[in-house]
Amino acid sequence: MKNIVKALLITFMIFTLPFHGKAQTTAAVKNDQINFIEDAWNTALKKAAAENKYIFVDAYATWCGPCKMLKATTFKDKKVAEFFNKNFINVSMDMEKGIGPKLAAEWQMQAYPTLIIFNPKGKAVLGTVGFIKANELLKFGQQGLAKKI
């Protein structure tokens, strides 16, 4: 009887622990970085209108060193991720493909990265150019939310 209970316990652990660990890992990844919608400006506009949220845009180019630094550091800061995931619809746009070039002209892009905050109706309220650290991005986000246009 002892051996049967032991075998059942071992079987239970073998089949349930891998799922438990995976769920925790997936949740950790989502909370440890800003979750961006990739190259989908129209989707971001629709979500922002439906959820009455501001939009945070990371306008970048694939060759841009400071853009890569933002993605590797600032966007992975835990406080930044929590704040932006809670308060914004986040969209990352490659400004050299798809509708990127059209938006780059419309938004009058001068350099990359350009970070822009739009109100829920898609009107730009605040922007900045270049790499910024986590604490600066938090201030930028707070300033953007305070703008009522």
pLDDT in tens, 18-57: 434 433 333 334 578 999 999 999 999 999 999 999 999 9
Q: What is the pLDDT of residue 32?
A: 87
User: What is the chain's mean pLDDT, rounded?
Assistant: 85
Residues in contact with 106: Cβ distance below 8 Å, sequence separation at least 6, in sequence order: none
Same domain, 78 and 18: no
Q: What is the pLDDT of residue 30?
A: 59
Same domain, 78 and 62: yes
Same domain, 49 and 114: yes
Element (H, E) at 24: helix 2-31
* Enclosing domain of residue 96: 34-146
Per-residue model confidence as pLDDT tens for the chain (149 residues): 554 444 433 433 444 334 344 333 333 345 789 999 999 999 999 999 999 999 999 999 999 999 999 999 999 999 999 999 999 999 999 999 999 999 999 999 999 999 999 999 999 999 999 999 999 999 999 999 998 76
Overall domain count for the chain: 2
CA-to-CA dists, residue 83 to 125, 135, 141, angstroms: 18, 11, 8
Q: What is the pLDDT of residue 149?
A: 63
What's the CATH code of the domain at 76? Answer: 3.40.30.10
Interatomic CA distance for residues 132 and 140, integer angstroms: 10
Q: What is the DSSP letter of 112?
A: S
Q: Which two tokens stand for residue 56?
A: 């945070």
Same domain, 18 and 90: no
